Amino acid sequence: MADYARNRMFFASSTSLMLAAAAYMSFSLLWHDPVPMSWRIPLTILLLIVSQTITGMRVLITWRPDLPFALVRAGGFISSSFMVLSWFVLLRDAILLTTFVVFLFAPDVYGIKNAVFSVLLSVPAELVMLAASIAAAAVGMARALTVPGVKKVDVPLPGLPQDLEGLTIAHLSDLHIGSTFTGTWLKEVVRRTNALNPDFILITGDLADGKPERIGNLLRPVTDLKARYGVALSVGNHDYYSGLRAWVKTWRDWGLTVLLNEHKEYTVNGRNVVIAGVTDPCAVLFRSLDESMGAPDTRKALEGAGKGLRILMSHRPGHAEQNAALGCHLQLSGHTHGGQFFFLFPLVSRLNSGFRSGLYRTGSMSLYVSPGTGMWGYVPMRLGVGAEITLLTLRCAEPVAPQKPSYRGKLGG
């Protein structure tokens, strides 16, 4: 439920993309026999309207910040159903295209081509696609809105001092309070996280979808997070969209450690542990913000840091290779939501330098990409990937040869 007035580029591109998807879907689903001509125009208009659910919800929330939460989730369900239907249409059309190409070069002795086209282009088949989309959205939404369980991951770090063997980090990311989840949900996340009794709790951005004056009370439970040595957070793109300057002031007034291209050092078993955080690349869209909230700068974040274990919080995972070269030993990221829908996994990996979800190694650095503790509220659905509260345990490991960052370098998780 962010204020998107200052994010016009995203607003315009997402609106155009959804309109284009609806236009293609209407042509594919409606403008052919045996769909009755009298249905085609009204159903096309309906599909175009449904495609703008995300845009409509953003506009409504800008005008009415107190919009009932149930209405927001209803909009999310409609947009989720639309997304799944679009992929069913693409899959159906891929089958039709393949069938057409095959029978350009092979005789259709048994009438297979006509049978495939007749079945897949029938009204009953399209109604089945619609029903399946609604059902998948319902299942995916139910899964997305539950409080996530704990996933435990051992992280091998070459050269880790024996004194730091077994250090634990509770990793949270992409809470998106305001657009998807309420304070009640967050309180349970906090309770489950605290029950792990971690050495550190690190939050890698996208905490808020909405301004402090509207959702501050919903996000306030993060102040109850407790760790043996410290709790710290970095920021994500949605925190910028929601008014970063006001949020940073609010978080710091609450006593939270917010790291904006800076670091904080801790002593653990006589060893120095550096926790650093960088800003988000979308900072370039917000030129009026203070310089401290500008573009991400890992060099600046580590400037003056003492020797020791260096852990970097970066909302987006894409620059892991550069961060490894700067001497980071472990990077924690989020942003990808794990791909959110299985049919988006390849695209999300490509958009994030091959990193989608789980544990990777790039150079001598380990990278953990959280699929998100929460998720964005306008398409609140998970199919093929769950949310998680992650408990990372650091383990000593032998030095390894550098590896090129890609999904092929994934270690597990």
Both 235 and 99 in a single domain? no
How many angstroms separate the CA atoms of 122 and 101, rounded? 20
Both 319 and 199 in a single domain? yes
Please give the full DSSP string across 151-201, using - where no structure is assigned: EEEEEEEET--GGGTT-EEEEE----BTTTB-HHHHHHHHHHHHTT--SEE
The two beta strands, 330-333 and 309-313, are parallel
How many angstroms separate the CA atoms of 306 and 269, rounded? 16
Whether omega before 34 lies within 30 degrees of 0, making that bond cis, reads yes
In this structure, are residues 383 and 172 in contact, taking their beta carbons and an 8 Å threshold? no
| Residue 221 clears pLDDT 60, i.e. is over it | yes
Tallying the residues shown for the chain, one arrives at 413
Among 89, 119, 143, identify where a domain stops. Answer: 143
Both 230 and 367 in a single domain? yes
Q: Which of 147-151, 229-233, 405-409 is least confident?
A: 405-409
Both 347 and 399 in a single domain? yes
In this structure, are residues 233 and 251 in contact, taking their beta carbons and an 8 Å threshold? yes
Both 199 and 322 in a single domain? yes
Q: Which residues contact 356 (CB under 8 A, 6 or more apart)?
A: 336, 338, 339, 345, 348, 349, 369, 407
Query: How many CA within 13 A on the CB side of residue 6?
Result: 20
Among 143, 162, 185, identify where a domain stops. Answer: 143
Q: Which of 24-33, 285-294, 393-402 is least confident?
A: 393-402
Q: How does the average pLDDT of the chain come out, rounded?
A: 90
In this structure, are residues 333 and 173 in contact, taking their beta carbons and an 8 Å threshold? yes
Both 50 and 134 in a single domain? yes
1-12 average pLDDT score: 52
| Residue 405 clears pLDDT 70, i.e. is over it | no
55-82 average pLDDT score: 82
Write down the pLDDT at residue 401: 46
| Residue 403 clears pLDDT 50, i.e. is over it | no
For residue 398, with 0-12 CB atoms within 10 Å meaning exposed, 13-18 middle and 19 or more buried, which class applies? exposed
270-284 average pLDDT score: 95
Using one digit for the tens of pLDDT, what is the confidence trace for 144-196?
989 999 999 999 999 899 999 999 999 999 999 987 788 889 999 999 999 99
Band of the pLDDT at 3, cuts 50, 70, 90?
Answer: very low
Both 116 and 193 in a single domain? no
Both 217 and 122 in a single domain? no
Write down the pLDDT at residue 410: 56
> What CATH number has the domain bearing residue 258?
3.60.21.10
Q: Which of 125-134, 228-237, 401-410 is least confident?
A: 401-410
Write down the pLDDT at residue 69: 77
Distance of CA 37 to the CA centre of its chain: 41
Backbone torsion region of residue 275, taken as left when φ is above 0, otherwise alpha when ψ lies between -120 and 50, otherwise beta:
beta
The two beta strands, 230-234 and 200-204, are parallel
Higher pLDDT, 405 or 61: 61
Write down the pLDDT at residue 404: 41
Both 209 and 354 in a single domain? yes
Write down the pLDDT at residue 219: 95
Write down the pLDDT at residue 190: 98
| Residue 386 clears pLDDT 90, i.e. is over it | yes
Using one digit for the tens of pLDDT, what is the confidence trace for 114-149?
999 999 999 999 999 999 999 999 999 999 989 999
How many angstroms separate the CA atoms of 52 and 75, rounded? 10
- Residue 358 structural domain: 148-412
Among 107, 126, 143, identify where a domain stops. Answer: 143
In this structure, are residues 332 and 357 in contact, taking their beta carbons and an 8 Å threshold? no
Band of the pLDDT at 8, cuts 50, 70, 90?
Answer: low
Backbone torsion region of residue 229, taken as left when φ is above 0, otherwise alpha when ψ lies between -120 and 50, otherwise beta:
alpha
* Domain count along the chain: 2
Write down the pLDDT at residue 65: 64
223-250 average pLDDT score: 95
Q: Is this prediction's pTM over 0.85?
A: yes
Both 84 and 210 in a single domain? no
Q: Which residues contact 319 (CB under 8 A, 6 or more apart)?
A: 296, 298, 353
Both 227 and 184 in a single domain? yes
Higher pLDDT, 329 or 63: 329
Higher pLDDT, 333 or 291: 333
Both 11 and 126 in a single domain? yes
Q: Which of 63-77, 88-102, 185-199, 205-219 is least confident?
A: 63-77
Write down the pLDDT at residue 11: 66
How many angstroms separate the CA atoms of 69 and 67, rounded? 6
**What residue type is 5 in one-letter code?**
A
311-322 average pLDDT score: 96
| Residue 49 clears pLDDT 80, i.e. is over it | yes
